[in-house]
Amino acid sequence: MTIEVEVSPELEASLAAEAALQGMELKKYAGKLLEERRQRYGAGQLKPGDVAEMTKVMTAGAEHLPVLPPELNNRESYYEDRL
């Protein structure tokens, strides 16, 4: 099967360089990347390493958030208008 994809010249150059490092043609390298992506995410099931990586991405920068006192984290603080 052939799929045609338009990419920026910068991305094409980057992919071509990576393909050359792998000793592959650009089209074969792009196909390999798609296959790896499908195998990793295609089944819709996350592996333990995927969850760890996703957690890192989601929490990046959280170390700069202020630490709130525990008394601010109670039921009333979430449902102020329903007391």
Q: For 28-44, how does the pLDDT look when each residue is reduced to its tens digit (9 = 90+)?
A: 999 999 888 876 665 56
Q: Would you say residue 2 lies in a domain?
A: no
- The yes-or-no verdict on residue 58 having pLDDT over 70 is yes
Rounded to an integer, the average pLDDT of 37-60 is 78
Rounded Cα gap, residues 19 and 15, in angstroms: 6
Mean pLDDT along residues 45-68: 85
Please state, in angstroms and rounded to a whole number, the distance separating the CA atoms of residues 50 and 5.
27
The pair of structure tokens assigned to 55 is 């957690």
Q: How many domains does the chain divide into?
A: 1
Would you mind telling me the total number of residues written for the chain in this entry? 83
Task: Determine how many CB atoms are found less than 10 A away from the CB of residue 30.
Answer: 19
Is residue 3 domain-resident? Answer: no
Q: Which helix (H) or strand (E) holds 40?
A: helix 26-41
Instruction: Please indicate, yes or no, whether the overall pTM of this predicted structure exceeds 0.85.
Output: no
Mean pLDDT value of segment 43-69: 83
Look up the domain containing 46 and give its range.
Answer: 9-82
d(C-alpha 24, C-alpha 14), whole Å: 13
43, part of any domain: yes
